Amino acid sequence: MIVDVLPGMTLAQVIMRLREAHGDSVTIRISPDSALLLTANEFRALSLAAEREQIAIAVETRDGLRRQLATLFGVPLAIPTDEDEEDEPQPIDGPANTLPTADPEEPDDAGTTTTTAAPVRTGRNGASGGKRGNGRMGRVVAALAGIALLLLLVIGGYWYFLRTADVRLTTVTQPVNTTIAFSVARPGQDVSAAGAVPAEQVSFELSVKLDAPATGIESIGTILATGTLELRNPGSQAITIPAGTIIDTWEGDQFVTSDEVTVPPSENGSAGEGTVVVAAATPGAFANRDPGMLSGQMENGIYFSNRGTPIAGGGDETTTVVTQDDLDALQARAEETLRSLAATSSLSDNRRVVPSTLTIQQFTTSYSSEVGDEADAVSVDATIAFDALAFPTDALDAGAERALADQVPAGYQLVEGSVTYEVPVESGETGGVIAMLVQVTGSASVVVTDEEREQLADLIAGESKEAAESRLSRDPRFDSVSIDVSPGWMPQQLPSSTGKIDITIE
């Protein structure tokens, strides 16, 4: 099958024609005037389409650039060399710009009519001139295509030869710990004889800010309790009770009458009766009374009772306030916190305190609220000035590292600078020398040898960045993997040469 690539056709149209020959062989005949198949990308797309459709293709073209591209992508040429091509028509000898024309017919001796040629002039834009114009255009296109191919080769060479990869691997770590024994000598003791770490008297300050909820509850009356009292007058004279009369109770509470009322005298042995509305003198729920719970006798001899109805409606609002207990508890917490901090922390000069020697020289506090203040919480800023004996921990580092190294499992190594100390524990004192125990902790990381680095580089050489990261992430020796390929604007594929892959173990 032959597919002609004519002027004006697109690459998509050519590929569509290829699909019609699925599984067959196709010769692609390219017109000299076609603008297709002059770049590496077009030949790559053509090759991929032929491979996908299982087509054996060959290219028929007289263009030198197209022949180079076809050879580059392994596409056979239908016309092997330019020498096998048909020669272009040569101009006919004679005056310039002439073509042969026919003379009038003349019979020969045998009576046969013959025709003789005569020169005919052609215009400057005739067929010969047009072919020369097409040739010049072809040479320009071929030159541009050659420049483009050269650029592709330069970029490809830069990408191939100058690519580098920076691989950073963070190894798996695990904690190791042990306990070491040492001694600290008080000032003035013979350190060399005791083999102890010398201690010095130090002064330092520590501060902390703590807060806690306020616990005090204060009730404030906001609504007056009201109700009706029944009145009894056992006397022989009517008694008038003015509005605003205060009625005292045995509990010490007071109620005030709202209206003036006159209670008639007793008759026939029955006390005179009346009623009056009262309200508590002070708002609050304390004045509420169940029926019959507010009773007594006024100074004028009138008896009163709420036996028929309650005194109700009194109400309070509660609020949270700061108590002295709140402040005392905060101060105790602050002291405990600062003592613990002083005993467990390293001082600024990398020294630690002997806990039993801590003494408080000054304790200052500042509270956000005072006793009785309405607040949901209260805070304290506390500072303590301490005196204590302190010893340098770097005197323990060498022994701690040796002790931890014995705990490191095979295939691991102690991470430099990872040693930390817990709170020292005192086990006794003799002659001014304090015996102590301390737990030390460090980190051990997986060991990766130079030979193993080379093996890793060989394993990922030539792979894409994603594939290399995926492969290394599955290695149980590493916690994290990071790969940077340079230059970053080129395809992210690692160099094929292991010498251009730098592996850093962290």
Q: What's phi and psi for 251, nearest 5 deg?
A: -80, -10
% the chain with pLDDT above 70 = 85
Q: Residue 125 pLDDT more than 50?
A: no
Question: In terms of pLDDT, which residue wins out, 16 or 326?
Answer: 326
Q: What's phi and psi for 335, nearest 5 deg?
A: -65, -45
- pTM, two decimals, is 0.47
Q: Stretch 210-217: mean pLDDT, rounded?
A: 95
Left, alpha or beta for 343 (phi > 0: left; psi -120 to 50: alpha)? alpha
% the chain with pLDDT above 90 = 49
Position 136 scores a pLDDT of 66
Residue 102 Cα distances to 60, 89, 112, angstroms: 38, 21, 16
Residues 405-445 have pLDDT tens digits of 999 999 999 998 888 888 888 999 888 889 989 899 999 99
Position 83 scores a pLDDT of 43
Mean pLDDT of the chain: 84
Q: Residue 121 pLDDT more than 70?
A: no
What SS3 state is found at 28? Answer: strand
Q: Stretch 205-234: mean pLDDT, rounded?
A: 94
The upper half-sphere exposure of residue 237, i.e. CA atoms within 13 Å in the direction of its Cβ, equals: 5
End-to-end CA distance of the chain: 62
Q: Largest Cα–Cα distance of the chain, in whole Å?
A: 190
H-helix or E-strand containing 17?
Answer: helix 11-19
Position 309 scores a pLDDT of 94
Count of beta carbons in the 10 Å neighbourhood of residue 380: 21
Q: Stretch 108-128: mean pLDDT, rounded?
A: 42
Q: Residue 140 pLDDT more than 90?
A: no
Question: In terms of pLDDT, which residue wins out, 102 or 393?
Answer: 393
